[in-house]
Amino acid sequence: MKDNKNFDVIIVGGSYAGLSAAMALGRALRNVLIIDSGLPCNRQTPHSHNFLTQDGIAPAVIADKAKKEVLKYDTVKFVTDLAVSGRKTDKGFEISTQSGKVFAAKKLIFAAGLKDSMLKIEGFSECWGISVLHCPYCHGYEVKNQKTGILANGYGAFHLSRLIRNWTKDLTLFTNGKSELTQEQTDEIKRHNISIVEKEITSLKHKNGVVEEIIFSDHSSFELKTIYSRPPFEQHCKIPELLGCELTEQGLIKVDGFQQTTVENIFASGDSTNPIRAVSYAVSTGNNTGVFLNNAMTEEDFSK
């Protein structure tokens, strides 16, 4: 790339949120650079659901189609690389990448998503997104009425028990150790015929990510077809925090109603900013971010 120093906006993360922001900005004649490392959080899921016009399509196919559409605009450039650091300059920001390149822009958008931390249970990561599911709206219909487990504890377990019961009544809660539910939550769960198993889990027996049994530390096992779990997550990219962007208590990038972070000229969108994890949401906030940021830039330019 000839000129690494002259972008209006650098977008870190070129999946659904980043591409959507780039489309709005590229069409608004802003020079945009997308830097993307190619590891979206849903990459192991065979089919993505609940996004109009793309229901049941493989996640990478949706992203590839989006990328082709966005790169039709000569205002948008895309590099496959990992952004490793960022710094504020007189004119805006510089972003350095793993391959040693340095790019500069007036504004930044972070759309780098979240990284789910896989539970330390053998087989968990292999089943993630295939038969260990994070969201019933995305995958619940396909596994409705199946023998299903919830692998969670505390309030999260109560919330998931209440929610997943809408898709199947054949439900067992696995707390993987002593239950942290309140007595009231326990009574409510049991009243709906959901058993609570507190035994420690050592592994998930599976074939190519399709779970068959939960294996416990006492060597007993439990057959089932599907598990819901919400493992902890962290920001996929740490640069926003290093540039001073505040995070919420949940570990999401704090943004206002215009997707502006707590640091001037840095915006963020998609999963990294909101607990609603869905392609539709990422696309929507990404597009909004592009529009809000362009608006801010037109105001700045006009007042000069």
In DSSP terms, 149 is beta-bridged to: 172, 227
DSSP state of 15: S
User: 295 by DSSP, 3-state: which?
Assistant: helix
Question: Binding residue for ligand FAD (CB under 6 A) from 9, 17, 23, 160?
Answer: 17
240 interacts with ligand FAD by CB under 6 A: no
Residue 12 interacts with ligand FAD (CB under 6 A)?
yes
Q: What is the largest CA-CA distance in the chain?
A: 72
Residues 80-109 that bind ligand FAD (CB under 6 A): 82-83
Size of the site for ligand FAD (CB under 6 A): 40
Shortest reach from residue 187's CB to ligand FAD, in Å: 32
By CB under 6 A, tell whether 58 contacts ligand FAD. no
228 binds ligand FAD (CB under 6 A): no
Q: To the nearest whole angstrom, how small is the minimum distance from the Cβ of residue 204 to ligand FAD? A: 15
Closest CA to 248 of 88, 256, 286, 282: 256
Provide the strand spans (E) within 98-169: 102-110, 114-116, 132-133, 148-151
End-to-end CA distance of the chain: 30
**Minimum CB distance to ligand FAD smaller for 19 or for 181:** 19
- Distances, alpha carbon 261 to alpha carbons 111, 265, 268, in Å: 12, 8, 6
| Segment interacting with ligand FAD, rule: CB under 6 A, options 6-14, 23-31, 175-183, 195-203 | 6-14
Rounded CA-CA distance 4/218 in Å is: 58
77 contributes a contact to ligand FAD by CB under 6 A: no
Site membership for ligand FAD, residue 42 (CB under 6 A): yes
Residue ranges that bind ligand FAD, judged by CB under 6 A: 12-18, 35-42, 45, 48-51, 82-83, 111-113, 116, 128-129, 134, 138-139, 236-237, 270-271, 277-280, 282
